[in-house]
């Protein structure tokens, strides 16, 4: 057989450019499948974002419970289940005790706070209307009705009070189950990655868990400090509704920056409703507490956890609240912290593999485990 005839036979049996047995076609299909997979994953995340946020909120609760369990087991060598029961009972007893001792006072102050804020809003709008900065009260009413109508359409998917209570209960159940046996869920996540990457993934997962515990411990410490100190100082200064303002300040402290701004607005509005002196005291107390928290407490916490720039924190809160509502706003900080830990670990792996600027003339790169410790 001549060379030309052999070439004709090879061409006859060779795969065409549109056949799957063509190596080029298989390589292109693999690339296309990766992009299609990413698009499908993004679509699923968008469709399932609310359940995913609820699951992440459950992990946040589990981290809080796990932190309490670890503290108890450091002092007492008892089984994990017993330590978790002590933590849960202590939390229930604290909440029940607060509402039992101050429930009536809180309810009365809540109604008084609503009336005070409405009165202050009317005064401010009237003052701005006289200056020509804002429309008249009748126009404001129409604008408010339109705004509330549009907001109601946008947030109608959240549901009513029953749905919120049900979601809160699910978050608590997820957090409790994960806190009971966290190693089971850690192993399950490790099984979902390739075997060659499981060791590195376990290190990243452990670092994320530790960062979450320390971050939330610092956040809880800040909440208790801000709430208690605000209540005591407002009570001493004679500002009305000091107890309720202290509780609201402590709760809103879970959301840094934005929560502090909201609590400051409430505090100043209530202070000036009682008089100029109380209003000035409210301003001084707000800035004093926030200054101590921002320049003393938060830096101490940041040294042992993820130190996130304020601009990054505020930007993530704005983005998450716009996309996913209040739940996204509350979870923005932990989510960004986890992403940052993952990226830092990825960078360390690249340096260890020799892909980065980890080596220099002065010597090897510092040990990340030693720095974290």
d(CA 34, CA 36): 5
Say whether 309 sits in a helix, a strand or coil: coil
Using one digit for the tens of pLDDT, what is the confidence trace for 89-145?
A: 998 898 888 777 776 777 777 777 777 877 777 777 777 777 766 555 445 455 444
CA 4 to the chain's CA centroid: 70
d(CA 260, CA 267): 10
Burial class of residue 166 (count of CB atoms within 10 Å of its CB; 0-12, 13-18, 19+): exposed
Q: For the chain, what percentages of helix, strand and coil (3-state, to nearest 5) are there?
A: 85, 0, 15
d(CA 283, CA 269): 10
d(CA 31, CA 34): 5
Percent of the chain with pLDDT over 70: 76
CA-based diameter of the chain, in Å?
A: 109
Q: At what angle do helices 198-237 and 182-191 cross, to 10 degrees?
A: 140
- Cα dihedral across residues 7, 13, 14, 18: positive or negative: positive
Mean pLDDT of the chain: 76
Task: Tell me the pTM.
Answer: 0.68
Mean pLDDT value across residues 225-248: 88
pLDDT classification of 204: cutoffs 50, 70, 90 = confident
d(CA 178, CA 129): 54
d(CA 230, CA 282): 9
pLDDT classification of 86: cutoffs 50, 70, 90 = very high
pLDDT classification of 17: cutoffs 50, 70, 90 = low
Q: Count CB-CB contacts under 10 A for residue 15.
A: 13
Q: Which of 200-204, 253-257, 342-346 has the lowest mean pLDDT?
A: 253-257
The residues with which 363 forms a beta bridge, in sequence order, are 360
Decide if pLDDT at 290 tops 80. yes
pLDDT classification of 265: cutoffs 50, 70, 90 = confident
Closest CA to 347 of 323, 371, 363: 371
The residues with which 360 forms a beta bridge, in sequence order, are 363
Q: Give pLDDT, residue 219.
A: 82
């Amino acid at each position: 057989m001549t060379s030309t005839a052999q070439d004709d036979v090879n061409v006859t049996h060779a795969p065409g450019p549109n056949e799957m047995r063509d190596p080029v076609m298989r390589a292109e299909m693999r690339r296309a499948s990766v992009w299609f997979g990413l698009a499908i994953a993004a679509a699923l995340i968008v469709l399932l974002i609310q359940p995913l946020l609820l699951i992440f909120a459950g992990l946040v609760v589990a981290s809080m419970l796990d932190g309490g369990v670890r503290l108890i087991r450091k002092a007492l060598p008892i089984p994990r289940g017993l330590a978790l029961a002590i933590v849960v009972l202590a939390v229930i007893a604290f909440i029940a005790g607060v509402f039992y001792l101050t429930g009536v006072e809180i309810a009365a102050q809540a109604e008084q706070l609503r009336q005070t804020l409405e009165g202050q809003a009317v005064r401010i709008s009237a003052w701005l209307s006289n200056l020509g900065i804002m429309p008249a009260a009748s126009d404001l009413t129409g604008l408010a009705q339109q705004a509330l109508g549009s907001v109601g359409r946008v947030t109608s998917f959240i549901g009513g009070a029953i749905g919120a209570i049900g979601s809160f209960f699910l978050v608590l159940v997820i957090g409790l189950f994960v806190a009971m046996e966290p190693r089971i869920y850690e192993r399950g996540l490790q099984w979902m990655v390739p075997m060659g990457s499981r060791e590195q993934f376990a290190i990243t997962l452990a670092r994320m868990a530790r960062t979450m515990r320390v971050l939330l411990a610092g956040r809880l410490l800040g909440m208790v400090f801000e709430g208690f100190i605000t209540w005591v100082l407002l009570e001493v200064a004679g500002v009305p509704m000091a107890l309720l303002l202290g509780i609201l300040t402590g709760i809103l402290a879970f959301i840094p920056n934005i929560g502090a701004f909201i609590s400051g607005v409430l505090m100043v509005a209530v202070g000036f409703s009682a008089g100029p002196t109380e209003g000035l005291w409210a301003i001084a107390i707000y800035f004093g507490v926030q200054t101590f928290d921002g320049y003393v407490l938060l830096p101490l916490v940041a040294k042992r956890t993820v130190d996130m720039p304020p601009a990054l924190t505020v930007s993530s809160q704005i983005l998450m609240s716009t996309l996913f509502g209040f739940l996204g706003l509350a979870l923005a900080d932990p989510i960004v912290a986890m992403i940052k830990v993952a990226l830092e670990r990825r960078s360390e792996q690249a340096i260890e593999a020799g892909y980065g600027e980890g080596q220099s003339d002065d010597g090897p790169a510092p040990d990340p485990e030693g720095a974290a410790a």
